[in-house]
């Protein structure tokens, strides 16, 4: 008597042959199965028919083509990615979104960014900047300067706010504006022609200087501004967006 295990290995029955046929057509049948299968097919017409039919089916399945949705598909996905990013950003910092709920009052975001410019350029900018700061002007638009490149400050016309969740890591200078501090300013606060108010939760790490009359306190202000300028390599930013 041949042990069952061995017997099954040596003689392939039709049930095993049909599985072996599919594995063979998939290119996944081991060598010994292939030999056993061909031996089985030689004297089993039923399985031989089955082999032909399966082979035909596999051929038709293999001819199923890929369908390309076109390059517009990539554009559509990337549009949704942009939405995803915005949602993620809002979750991370909900205060960094202009709040539309404050009545009809449109807070504009002043993005305080800076560029590392050459020293000469900085001096030129400084000269013009200082000049424009102390020229009397009927400006209806506040200008905001900060030593913190990522300072998050809201500006709408002459109204300037440091929102409750915002922290300015450095000095803050407001020209021709009325500042309300809800959040934190780690450095000094300078107001040139304007007012400043602090909420109960506000924190200012440095001094608060209000320069109402630039002519009277020009010297002090210029010295202070120079100090600020030199310590920060002249990052005159204050980009204010208005509608």
* Residues engaged in binding other proteins (CB under 8 A): 18-19, 22-23, 26, 28, 53-54, 57-58, 60-62, 64-69, 71, 73-78, 80-82, 84
Which CB sits closer to other proteins, 51 or 229? 51
Q: Provide the 10 A C-beta neighbour count for residue 11.
A: 12
Which CB sits closer to other proteins, 72 or 136? 72
To other proteins, the closest distance from the beta carbon of 174 in angstroms equals: 32
To other proteins, the closest distance from the beta carbon of 84 in angstroms equals: 6
Which CB sits closer to other proteins, 21 or 236? 21
Q: What DSSP letter does each residue of 118-143 carry, written as one string?
A: -HHHHHHHHHHHHHHHHS----SS-E
Which CB sits closer to other proteins, 80 or 219? 80
Q: What DSSP letter does each residue of 145-205 carry, written as one string?
A: EES-TT-EEEEETTEEEE-TT-EESS-EEEEEEEEEESSEESS-EEEEEEEEEE-TT-EES
- Which tokens is 182 given? 């809800």
Query: Angle at Cα 14 formed by Cα 9 and Cα 18, nearest 5°?
Result: 95
To other proteins, the closest distance from the beta carbon of 57 in angstroms equals: 5
To other proteins, the closest distance from the beta carbon of 20 in angstroms equals: 10
Which CB sits closer to other proteins, 33 or 188? 33
To other proteins, the closest distance from the beta carbon of 27 in angstroms equals: 8
Sorted by sequence, the CB contacts under 8 Å of residue 239 that are 6+ apart come out as 110, 111, 112, 113
To other proteins, the closest distance from the beta carbon of 69 in angstroms equals: 4
Measured between alpha carbons, how far is 162 from 152 in angstroms, rounded to an integer? Answer: 7
Instruction: Give which of 196, 188, 141 is closest to 168, Cα–Cα.
Output: 188
What sections of 26-99 are H helices per DSSP? 31-42, 45-62, 72-92
């Amino acid at each position: 008597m041949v042990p069952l295990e061995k017997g099954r290995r040596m003689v392939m029955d039709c049930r095993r042959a049909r599985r072996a046929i599919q594995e063979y057509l998939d290119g996944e049948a081991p060598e010994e199965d292939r030999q056993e299968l061909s031996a089985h097919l030689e004297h089993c017409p039923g399985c031989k028919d089955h082999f032909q039919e399966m082979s035909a089916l596999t051929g038709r399945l293999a001819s199923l083509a890929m369908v390309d949705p076109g390059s517009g598909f990539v554009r559509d996905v990337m549009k949704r990615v942009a939405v995803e990013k915005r949602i993620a950003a809002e979750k991370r910092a909900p205060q960094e979104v202009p709040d539309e709920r404050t009545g009809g009052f449109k807070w504009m975001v002043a993005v305080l960014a800076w560029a590392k410019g050459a020293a000469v350029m900085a001096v030129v900018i400084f000269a013009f900047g200082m000049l424009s700061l102390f020229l009397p002007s009927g400006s209806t638009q506040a200008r905001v300067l900060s030593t913190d490149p990522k300072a998050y400050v809201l500006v709408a016309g002459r109204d300037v706010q440091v929102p409750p969740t915002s922290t300015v890591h450095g000095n803050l200078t407001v020209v021709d504006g009325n500042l309300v501090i809800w959040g934190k300013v780690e450095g000094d606060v300078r107001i040139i022609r304007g007012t400043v108010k602090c909420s109960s939760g506000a924190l200012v790490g440095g001094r608060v200087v209000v320069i109402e009359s630039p002519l009277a306190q020009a010297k002090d202000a210029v010295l202070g501004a120079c100090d600020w300028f030199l310590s920060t390599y002249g990052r005159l930013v204050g980009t204010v967006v208005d509608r």
